[in-house]
Structure 1
């Protein structure tokens, strides 16, 4: 199960994050998101735990917990494409109308004074 961890202290490293979650079970990955330009921790991370029961226990136990003077947010990660359109839907190809004459755009007359 993929887990989102938010409001983490900026001084944390991946090892600290993994150490906190390993109390609840096996952790396959613990990655803190880093800003590409400043190379600083962005304040959130993702943890992967193979056992869903252990992951759920970690979420319930750590969500809202105060660690290193920060109240962290822990919940199941939502995939980035969760709100995207149906991928099975076929796209219609663009077909240029053939019998239309080209006319330059002259703008609209709204608000025009004569």
Structure 2
């Protein structure tokens, strides 16, 4: 089960996120979302737990606890429209190609 976690302290890294969740069971992956331009945490992340019961216990045990200034929001992650590829639009439509200019090439 994929779990969404918001309200993370901005200095928390992937290893620390794993450490928080492994008290509830096996962790397949834990990733803090990082801003591409600044390289800093966005304050949320995702944890993948293969055992659904352990994942549900983690959600119940960690939701609304405080690790910093604000309480955590821990819930089952929702699938993105289009399968979560990040490059598709709702309804499975792809974007038209981008052109830098409209002049024909000879």
Q: TM-score, normalised by structure 2?
A: 0.76
> Gaps (5+ residues) in structure 1?
92-114
> Residues 43, 55 of structure 1: CA spacing in aligned structure 2 closer, same or farther, 3 A cutoff?
same
Please state if 1:10 is matched with 2:29: no
> Gaps (5+ residues) in structure 2?
84-89, 94-106
Alignment partners' CA distance in 1, 2:82 and 2:56 = 20
Quote the residue 2:46 is aligned against: 46
CA RMSD of aligned residues (A): 1.8
Alignment partners' CA distance in 1, 2:15 and 2:70 = 17
Number of equivalenced pairs? 87
Structure in which a larger fraction of residues adopt helix: 2
Structure 2 counterpart SS, 1:47: strand
Quote the residue 1:60 is aligned against: 60
Alignment partners' CA distance in 2, 1:17 and 1:70 = 16
CA shift, 1:5, in A, is: 0.2
Quote the residue 1:74 is aligned against: 74
Quote the residue 2:98 is aligned against: none
Q: Which range moved further: 59-68 or 49-58?
A: 59-68
Alignment partners' CA distance in 2, 1:55 and 1:10 = 23
